[in-house]
Amino acid sequence: MRCDELAPLIEAIADGTIEPSPEDRAHVSSCPTCSARLAAARRIEEWLSAREVAQPAAGFTAAVMARIGDETWKTERVVDIGFNLFIAAGVLVFMAFGAGLAWSLGFLTVTLDTEQLLRAVFAQVEGRVISQLQTTAIAAVVLTMALALWWWAEEATD
Ligand SMILES: [Zn+2]
């Protein structure tokens, strides 16, 4: 009974992790089985501690940590760019919708001024061509603003 209780503790006693109680000590010194177990465990412990522990090459830890940091940075970078592109795309759609709405309601005064100017300059040009120019101008403005916002988001992230 005493041997079974002591068996799981033999290794810890051998490597000094736990201090055996006086009762354990008394039992080990009087029990051939437990004293043999403890002696074997101590031999293994000595053999293990005498073995050379492989030393990593100089700078190994630093190199690994740098590599991990680099990978993390790359991943975060990709996420950042993806997020910014997603935001830019969302803003682009929103602005295109807003511009289209303002255009259809006649609230886009800047474009209306452009229309007046273009009408004066190209008096003989068909209205259809003018509306195409307006569409192109709106698209250019929206795209420029989206790119400016994307650039701003990139700057804000860095
Ligand atoms: Zn015993």
**Cβ neighbours of 16 (radius 10 Å):** 9
From the CA of 129, how far away is ligand 1's center (Å)? Answer: 104
Tokens 């950042």 belong to which residue?
A: 80
Confidence band (pLDDT; 50, 70, 90) for 34?
A: very high
For residues 142 and 96, the answer to whether their CB atoms sit within 8 Å is yes
For residues 147 and 84, the answer to whether their CB atoms sit within 8 Å is no
**Residue 73 tokens, joined:** 């940075």
From the CA of 37, how far away is ligand 1's center (Å)? Answer: 9
* Average pLDDT value for residue range 140-144: 88
From the CA of 35, how far away is ligand 1's center (Å)? Answer: 7
Confidence band (pLDDT; 50, 70, 90) for 127?
A: low
Query: At how many degrees (to 10) do helices 127-157 and 109-121 cross?
Result: 140
For residues 72 and 119, the answer to whether their CB atoms sit within 8 Å is no
From the CA of 33, how far away is ligand 1's center (Å)? Answer: 5
From the CA of 45, how far away is ligand 1's center (Å)? Answer: 20
pTM of the predicted model as reported, rounded to 2 decimal places = 0.35
For residues 34 and 27, the answer to whether their CB atoms sit within 8 Å is yes
From the CA of 34, how far away is ligand 1's center (Å)? Answer: 4
**Residue 45 tokens, joined:** 């412990």
* Average pLDDT value for residue range 126-145: 78
Euclidean distance between CA atoms 113 and 135, whole angstroms: 14
From the CA of 2, how far away is ligand 1's center (Å)? Answer: 6
From the CA of 38, how far away is ligand 1's center (Å)? Answer: 10
From the CA of 48, how far away is ligand 1's center (Å)? Answer: 25
State CA 51 to chain mean position distance: 40
From the CA of 15, how far away is ligand 1's center (Å)? Answer: 19
